[in-house]
Amino acid sequence: MAWTIEAIALHQVQVPGPEVLFQRGFGEMIDIIIYAFVLRGGGQVCLVDTGLPSDYSELNSNIRERKGAASGFVDVSTPLPQELRRRGVEPDLLVLTSFGPYTTGHLGAWHQCPLWVSERGCADVDLPEEPALAHAPAPAVRERLRSAQRVVGNKEILPGLTFVEVGVHHPASAALLIETDDGVVAIADPVFTARNLLQGTALGAAERAAGWHGMVRLLGQRCDAIIPIHDMSAAPVPRARWHASLTAKSAP
């Protein structure tokens, strides 16, 4: 089954370069976008991520304290529930690529939709793998996760739509492999920008940066392109354009 992919830009933020590019971009602030993705196929609509909650002022205060006054989220769209109503979109199922506040902000708007998430991510919520790096979801999000469909490893959740646990950024980080008329396209939480792929540079904010390259190589065996999840353009980057290190074979 072929799916179409529509990216909806919701929020914009500037972050320090090393957050996006491992040990690169010092002194640089990089603009990134928070998206939701609407996937359509076989009469079904899948919503990937839900943006920030309506009030994220406390989050912005925390971000500016840590990353500087130039950082902090700004809206580039109406809140996602209103935006989808304006577009006449009603999701049949939801997928989360992580449990961050920028993906879970409007989960409550579709409380009756099936929700697909990472089993490892849910286990980490209950008992963090590393308490120093724990990111506790809001209570309402945590409650919603309890009734979610949990994927271990990978699973085709609908024909042409495969959920993959990838980790690397957070334990809950996931990728979605989407069959389209132009080949298989992946959306992966740990691939922020096109520069990560074109330069072969790992995500700086990864909890396990050393695993980033192997994750991309494995995805590259199953997809033809990746949409960097926070790039300003949201355009697929074909595998042929990736840095040579991301298509090289690694030691067994």
Closest residue by Cα to residue 246 from 205, 215, 206: 215
251 band by pLDDT with thresholds 50, 70 and 90: very low
Mean pLDDT of 30-55: 97
At 250 the pLDDT is 54
What pLDDT sits at residue 70?
85
- pLDDT 10s digits, 93-152: 999 999 999 999 999 999 999 999 999 999 999 999 999 988 889 999 999 999 999 999
* pLDDT of res. 136: 87
217: part of which helix (H) or strand (E)?
helix 212-220
Q: How far is CA 163 from CA 70, 89, 122, in A?
A: 35, 22, 15
Question: CATH for 4-179, among 3.30.1370.100, 3.60.15.10, 1.10.760.10, 3.30.450.20?
Answer: 3.60.15.10
pLDDT-derived band of residue 167, with 50, 70 and 90 as boundaries?
very high
Per domain, the residue ranges of the chain are 4-179
pLDDT at 252: 44
Residue 41 has pLDDT above 80, yes or no: yes
pLDDT of residue 135: 82
The confidence band for 153, taking pLDDT boundaries of 50, 70 and 90, is very high
> Quick one: pLDDT at residue 100?
95
- Reported as a single tens digit per residue, the pLDDT across 189-204 is 999 999 999 999 999 9
94 SS3 class: strand
Asked if 187 and 48 count as a contact pair (C-beta separation under 8 A), the reply is: yes
Burial zone of 57 (CB within 10 Å; 0-12 exposed, 13-18 middle, 19+ buried): exposed
